[in-house]
Amino acid sequence: MGYVAVKGGESAILNAEKLVDYFRLKGETQPLNVKAIKEQLRLACDKVMSEASLYAPELAALALKQTEADTIEASFLLRAYRSTLSRIGYSEPVDTEEMFILRRISSAFKDIPGGQILGPTRDYVLRLLRFELLEERKEDKEKLFPKIDEDEEPPKRIPKVINILREEGLLPKPKIKKDEKPYDITRCALVFPLPRSGILQALARGEEGAMMAIAYSSMRGYGDIHPTLAELRVGFVPLKIKHPLTGEIVKVGDILVTETEIIAGKPTETGEDVPQFSLGYGLVFGHNERKSICMAMLDVTLKTENPKHPAEDQEFVIYHIDSIESSGFTNHWKLPHYVTFQSDLDRLRKIQKEKRKND
Amino acid sequence: MIKGYNFAFIDEYAKREIRRKILKAVSIPGYQVPFGSRELPIARGWGTGGLQITLSLIGKEDILKVIDQGCDESVNAVNIKRFVKATTGVSITTDTLKATIIQTRHRIPEEELTETQILVFQVPYPEPLRLVEPQESETRRMHAEADYAKIWVYLYENIVRWGEITIGARYPVLVNGRYIMDPSPIPRYDVPKLNYARTLYLFGAGREKRIYAVPPFTEIKPLEFEDHKFRIEDFTDKCCALCGSKDTFLDEIIDGDKRIFTCSDTSFCKKRRKNPNIPKSSRKK
């Protein structure tokens, strides 16, 4: 009676849980320090926070530790934790011109007001394994940073590249509706067509790989958006909320974000007198340039009036980029399906029987 | 109980929202009500829709039963019970008649449920029309206009092509003469139990973010043609190898080169082993 063994019951589950910890810790090394993960696996933590849509660096590091750096599972842990927190309000819109910039580039113009700031990037590094890191020591770290000058003045407010294009009438002016409430997909189920705030929210919490695959399909040939990267910036932005009692705007902290603005270089009717370019926008938690670029690309493709390709189809894109949903359902096929399979068997046998009888 | 978490895990505002959506679902039988489905520490596709309904309704006095494919001891059922128990401390039972809330995946228990109970279904695909139409906006329109031609044609073509309707589980039903509904992947055997039942049936789809309901004493008709009637699974000449029942849904088990059958409803099977004459319904005929 083989399959009945699947009913392992409680003790089997408990033992499986123990085994997971055993495999996580059976090696010779000390248990990982969460702080070290937070500091040295910075980008993994950022990815987890972004896909979980919860800004909590330490908990993201914990989730990575607990899941042995299975980032999709780690995002899932953090997303689940998110459900335990009450929504007490919405922040004020973030002004990214106030960003404390770590990195800022534009591929649209050679020189831009405020200058190109390369910042921490591996874009131009030779992708060679650095074998010396196999034995990296504390002294090596000290040699790298002999002295850090903390008195340097923080950079000033740096204007946006797209504002120059807006002033020239090449891009449409933003239509700001005051006090418009965002469509919140964590509180309302998806409806189509989804308002843009809902689309941006879904993209901001989407899984990088899934988004990149779909955005790439559009860049490669299933669509034509002719993108140019107007500006990409990485840095800390102040987060402000309206105080629930006094009504005053107060700063509650800084968050690290990556912002991308993409120009779709195809003349479009934007409601102005003359055709203009259109804009795609990406903003994600943490330092994640790929995801931010893909978000901006998809923001462009999803505005296509008569969708022809997958990347242009709202339902196709929005329903399939959330890794918490897709990984959960993928894994559920491991659950027993013997009742449903019994029903299917019954149908096939009946059909076979009828067929044999008639032949 | 585990420390640091709200009673029944999700926050009270979320529970209130879900309860309101349930009320709407009960008011419009068979209509899929969108809701703000929360993430749980259980994965999507593993019963999070049903679980959110259970967590929103459950109180300290409730007695919970959870089954997966009819079985109380199946890993997923055990896991869900463990989670609800850890965050609420409620009592757990395997006895269908003692439970106040029963959460189920793919079965309706053999013993007839009563007015004092709620059956919560875990739903993978809430949309019965997905079979014939991939777009959500289009299926919503079809429901709004009761434009169900496509699914009828699908069933008809099935019969022309195969001589049979090929849908095994998840057989579409018409609720209260208005909405076509996916009864979740219960076998066809369980579909008639939905019709004019004494119990409130609630359906939750976590990933697809929909709640729907069949209130007590509602007409449920499986889709069928005058000359091609709906049929349940055929267990003629078979009985449970453990309790001998001939009137229950059976699981087929491969035993060497033989096939044996046992009750899918394990709790009822245990009762029948003690007393083979226990009826499925307490209702007086």
What is the C-alpha to C-alpha distance for residues B24 and B19, in angstroms, rounded to an integer? 9
What are the residue ranges of CATH 3.40.50.11310 in chain B? 12-129+168-222
pLDDT, residue A4, reads: 42
Per CB-CB distance under 8 Å, the chain B contacts of A184 are 36
What is the C-alpha to C-alpha distance for residues A218 and A222, in angstroms, rounded to an integer? 5
C-beta separation of A76 from A328 below 8 A: yes
> What does the block give as tokens for A248?
């005053």
pLDDT single digits (tens) B267-276: 999 999 999 9
pLDDT single digits (tens) A207-240: 999 999 999 999 888 887 778 999 999 999 999 9
Is the pLDDT reported for residue A59 higher than 60? Answer: yes
Q: Per-residue confidence at A8, pLDDT binned at 50, 70, 90?
A: low
Please state the rounded mean pLDDT for residues B111-116.
96
pLDDT, residue A89, reads: 83
Q: Do the Cβ atoms of B163 and A189 come within 8 Å?
A: no
Amino acid sitting at position A237: V
Tell me which chain A residue has its CA closest to the CA of residue B35: A189
Of B13, B43, B48, the CB nearest to A331: B43
Best of A84, A185, A315, A327 to disrupt the B interface by mutation (most B CBs within 10 Å)? A84
Mean pLDDT of chain A: 90
Query: A102 vs A99, A116, A120, A262, A281, CA distance in Å?
Result: 9, 11, 7, 20, 19
Q: Do the Cβ atoms of B164 and A6 come within 8 Å?
A: no
Mean pLDDT of chain B: 95
pLDDT above 90 covers what percent of chain B? 87
pLDDT, residue A152, reads: 66
Full-model pTM: 0.85
Please state the rounded mean pLDDT for residues B146-175.
95
Please state the rounded mean pLDDT for residues A333-346.
92
Task: Return the biggest CA–CA distance within chain B.
Answer: 60
pLDDT, residue A7, reads: 59
What is the C-alpha to C-alpha distance for residues B35 and B202, in angstroms, rounded to an integer? 14
Alpha carbon of A146: minimum distance to chain B alpha carbons (Å): 44
Best of B44, B83, B125 to disrupt the A interface by mutation (most A CBs within 10 Å)? B44
Strand partners, B200: B118
> What does the block give as tokens for B137?
């906006």
Please state the rounded mean pLDDT for residues B153-157.
96
Best of B7, B39, B48, B170 to disrupt the A interface by mutation (most A CBs within 10 Å)? B39
pLDDT single digits (tens) A258-291: 999 999 877 777 777 788 888 999 999 999 999 9
DSSP letter string, B81-147 = HHHHHHHH--EE---TTT-SEEEEES---SSPP-TT-EEEEE-S---GGGGT---HHHHHHHHHTT-
C-beta separation of B141 from B210 below 8 A: no
Alpha carbon of B52: minimum distance to chain A alpha carbons (Å): 11
pLDDT, residue A3, reads: 38
Please state the rounded mean pLDDT for residues B119-127.
96
pLDDT single digits (tens) B230-253: 999 999 999 999 999 999 999 988
Per CB-CB distance under 8 Å, the chain A contacts of B155 are none
pLDDT, residue B2, reads: 81
Per CB-CB distance under 8 Å, the chain B contacts of A83 are 9-11, 14, 38-40
* Contacts by A251-257, CB closer than 8 A, 24 or more apart: A252/A91, A254/A100, A255/A55, A255/A285, A256/A46, A256/A285, A256/A286, A256/A287, A257/A94, A257/A96, A257/A99, A257/A283, A257/A284, A257/A285, A257/A286
| Exposure b/e, B168-197, CB count within 10 A at least 16 = b | bbbbbbbbbeebbbbbbbbbbbbbbbbeeb
Of B12, B74, B165, the CB nearest to A7: B74
Beta strands in A95-242 (DSSP E): 100-105, 227-242
Is the pLDDT reported for residue A150 higher than 70? Answer: no
What is the C-alpha to C-alpha distance for residues B116 and B97, in angstroms, rounded to an integer? 10
Strand order in the sheet with B173-175: B179-181, B173-175, B220-222
Of A315, A329, A343, the CB nearest to B187: A343
C-beta separation of A251 from A238 below 8 A: yes
Q: Do the Cβ atoms of A325 and B233 come within 8 Å?
A: no
Is the pLDDT reported for residue A332 higher than 90? Answer: yes
pLDDT, residue A151, reads: 64
Of A79, A188, A193, the CB nearest to B39: A79
Lowest mean pLDDT of A32-46, A172-186, B45-59, B64-78, name the range: A172-186
Q: Domain ranges for chain A, please list them.
A: 9-82, 96-327
Please state the rounded mean pLDDT for residues A86-115.
89
Of A7, A80, A331, the CB nearest to B73: A7
Which of the residues of B are catalytic? 30, 240, 243, 263, 269
Per CB-CB distance under 8 Å, the chain B contacts of A315 are 135-137
Per CB-CB distance under 8 Å, the chain A contacts of B169 are 339-340, 343-344
Tell me which chain B residue has its CA closest to the CA of residue A333: B45
pLDDT, residue A9, reads: 72
Strand partners, B173: B181, B222
Fold of B12-129+168-222: Rossmann fold (3.40.50)
Per CB-CB distance under 8 Å, the chain B contacts of A351 are 162-164, 166
| Exposure b/e, A212-246, CB count within 10 A at least 16 = b | bebbeebbeeebebebebbbbbbbebbebbeeeee
Tell me which chain A residue has its CA closest to the CA of residue B189: A343
Amino acid sitting at position A177: K
Tokens 């044999």 identify what position?
A356
pLDDT, residue B183, reads: 98
Tell me which chain A residue has its CA closest to the CA of residue B52: A83
Query: A240 vs A98, A99, A159, A225, A258, CA distance in Å?
Result: 12, 13, 20, 35, 18
Sign of CA dihedral B18, B21, B26, B31: negative
